[in-house]
Structure 1
Amino acid sequence: MDNFDAALASETSRRRFLRRTALGTAGLAAAPALAQQLVDLKLPGGNAERPMTSAFPGKGSMILQRIHPPLLETPMDVFDKSVFTPNDQFFVRWHWADIPTSIDVESFRLKVFGHVNRPLSISLAQLLRLPRVEMAAVNQCSGNSRGLFQPRVAGAQWGNGAMGNAKWLGVRLRDVLDLAGVKAGAVQVRFGALDQPVVTGAPDFEKALDIDHARDGEVMIAFGMNGEQLPLLNGFPCRLIVPGWYSTYWVKMLNAIEVLPGPDDQYWMAKAYK
């Protein structure tokens, strides 16, 4: 990827990124007022019109499903233009509304801990120095097309645009786990992120993979998307890529990797998505 490291590492670029992402809160608040038009998703049962907006930072014209947390759907005509979905029209889905609107790339750390021999605190610069892989993979929300169900079911009433295909650049999760030294008896790996619940006592959004899956060489930690820096709303500075699995496992703004000696029994694994 041309000049990818320089784009992340330079102080000028970092300041530019922080200025851009600082627009996040204003962009979210302004989204309804800046709606360009309405699009009919042709959902059964009515209430099928959604506003189009370009008000979200780093995003072009998107179908607005929700503001807090941001749920942005890709217009269907985008998929006719290229095999790969452009970053500025790639769908957005968050579980919690407390999302950082800026990331300091110098202070950011990815923690690796738990059932390991060597707990790690990895900077973005260190992550960039690991052997890289690039992979094309489809990312799709498990609720894609939910709005077409009859009878209707609870959840975001997506049309068919909660999906996208991209080329992801990053490092193998297996390589990061090997640096930490996974202990014998490890069962699963749990992934945490920077987004936070807005209600006291609500569980952090965390997902887990079986240890063999986590180490299969295909699961990635990505920092690049379609030849560019990973966009903030799609998980900057890094996110999990789990090819063939729904996007609920593709944890965004990844900052914690915990190796577990037993199955993960927290809410998002034991109760949600069942």
Structure 2
Amino acid sequence: MKRYLTTYLPLLIFIQFSCNTKPKAPATTVSADAPEMLVSPAGKDSMLLLTDRPPNLETPLKYFLEDYTPNNVFFVRWHLSSLPSKVDIDTFRLRVNGNVATPLELSMEDLKTKFKPYTITALCQCAGNSRSFFDPRVAGGQWKNGAMGNAKWTGVKLKDILELAGAKANSKDVSFNGLDGPPMDSTPDFVKALHYDHAIDGEVMIAYEMNGEPLPLLNGYPLKLVVPGWYATYWVGMLSEVQVLDKPFKGFWMEKAYLVPKGVVNGNEKPDSLSKDMEPINKMDVRSLFVSPEPENTIEVGKATDIQGLAFDGGDGIEKVEISQDSGKTWKPARLDADLGKYSWRRWHYNFTPAEKGNYVFWVKATNSKGLSQPFHQWNRSGYMRNEIESLAINAQ
């Protein structure tokens, strides 16, 4: 059996450490207050540090010029600080139990030989991506736009695994737990759940490869649940247990955390009128953002500039992207690159040639195949699902 090299995770010792402060730019493009701290933990290149315990790292914007986010800079998100520093792949087993006829303990070799491999391209985006831009500000990790990444995921359809286990017809939910653990007994273990019908839709999968390579440890090695089109809170890393339930799942991370106003487009509510009816966050909303040039860049007068960015939604498909230079009064179409798959982001381009020196401000919005677009303002108490129309200010010289 092929043995994957185990990876060590020194959380507090970094290969490289640097800190820099960037000039303040438009609120929609650069985080508000703290200077950027760049770190290079084991297995990663230079990334933006959000927290070191648990490790939470953001992808620098420049890497979004690539259609598939490199593994060594793919964003990192963990909720619990007790993480294994290595995983012995020879003894590791994925346990599948609960409301099934035949409980399973699957090795990596089992997953690769007993099941047909499945590959899907899908965007993984933290529910709190871009939280630092909310106005008024909200508590939580102050991510900029880099708490996301696009990748080709290879593994096994969850449907196939549950069929082998003989999941029973009266199943209601399926829960997922990883090797990470709470630092104290009073801290709820991070366990997420999907409705059974969603779990067996043929797209939800358990990945053992990311962009053609074994998952990095910080991104969930050796196995990661992939829930295409849904926010990354469901993408449980270091997945070690799948439990089929004959009744709805009850747990802190589904009933108390990651809640949004029920049935409200864009998860909107008002600070002085908070929603009382809440539900677990789920499908990603429509969004677009600028990638290049970055706010601190200067463009050349009389020279064509390729303004480009990304647009995505929860799987319905991006229909168009539009650019405005007059604060949303009029809009012009951007050019879309080829579609990489309904769960992938889609790159867009807008050619601009400045006629004279000065500052120029652009707005961008995307619309999907269902006609859903982006609001001018969006807010909720948890800083989730941010998808406001974004602006970019650039200077021509």
- Alignment length, in residue pairs? 254
Structure whose CA Rg is larger? 2
Q: Distance in 2 between matches of 1:128 and 1:39?
A: 46
Q: Which has the higher helix share?
A: 1
- Is 2:116 aligned against 1:116? no
- 98, 105, 111: which is aligned to 2:82? 98
Query: Do the aligned partners of residues 210 and 159 (structure 1) sit closer, same or farther apart at CA in structure 2, a change above 3 Å counting?
Result: same
Highest RCO, 1 vs 2 (Cα 8 Å, sep ≥ 6): 1
Deviates most, 40-49 or 199-208: 40-49
The aligned residue for residue 136 of structure 2 is: 151
TM-superposed deviation, 1:265: 1.1
Check the 8 A contact 1:235/1:254 in 2, yes or no. yes
Q: Which has the higher strand share?
A: 2
What is the CA deviation profile of residues 1-40 of structure 1, one whole-angstrom value per residue up to 9, with x for unaligned ones?
A: xxxxx7xx14xxx4xx23xx23x12xx2124x94223254
C-alpha RMSD over aligned residues: 1.6
- 185, 193, 197: which is aligned to 1:208? 193
- Is 2:235 aligned against 1:253? no
4+ residue stretches of structure 1 with deviation over 3 A? 39-46
State the secondary structure of the residue aligned to 1:29. Answer: coil
Identity %: 48
Check the 8 A contact 2:125/2:148 in 1, yes or no. yes
State the secondary structure of the residue aligned to 2:95. Answer: strand
Check the 8 A contact 1:146/1:157 in 2, yes or no. yes
- What does residue range 189-200 of structure 1 map to in structure 2 within 5 Å? 189-200=174-185
The aligned residue for residue 122 of structure 2 is: 137
Check the 8 A contact 2:16/2:46 in 1, yes or no. no
What is the CA deviation profile of residues 164-221 of structure 1, one whole-angstrom value per residue up to 9, with x for unaligned ones?
A: 0000010100000000001121000000000001022211101000111000000010
TM-superposed deviation, 1:151: 1.3
State the secondary structure of the residue aligned to 2:183. Answer: coil
Q: Distance in 2 between matches of 1:251 and 1:48?
A: 29
Query: Do the aligned partners of residues 262 and 220 (structure 1) sit closer, same or farther apart at CA in structure 2, a change above 3 Å counting?
Result: same
- Is 2:52 aligned against 1:52? no
TM superposition score normalised by structure 1:
0.89
Check the 8 A contact 1:50/1:65 in 2, yes or no. no
TM superposition score normalised by structure 2:
0.62
What is the CA deviation profile of residues 233-266 of structure 1, one whole-angstrom value per residue up to 9, with x for unaligned ones?
A: 0010001000000000000000000001111111
TM-superposed deviation, 1:42: 5.2
State the secondary structure of the residue aligned to 2:162. Answer: helix
The answer for unaligned runs of 5 or more in structure 2 is: 260-397
Q: Distance in 2 between matches of 1:43 and 1:241?
A: 34
Q: Distance in 2 between matches of 1:151 and 1:105?
A: 46
TM-superposed deviation, 1:48: 2.9
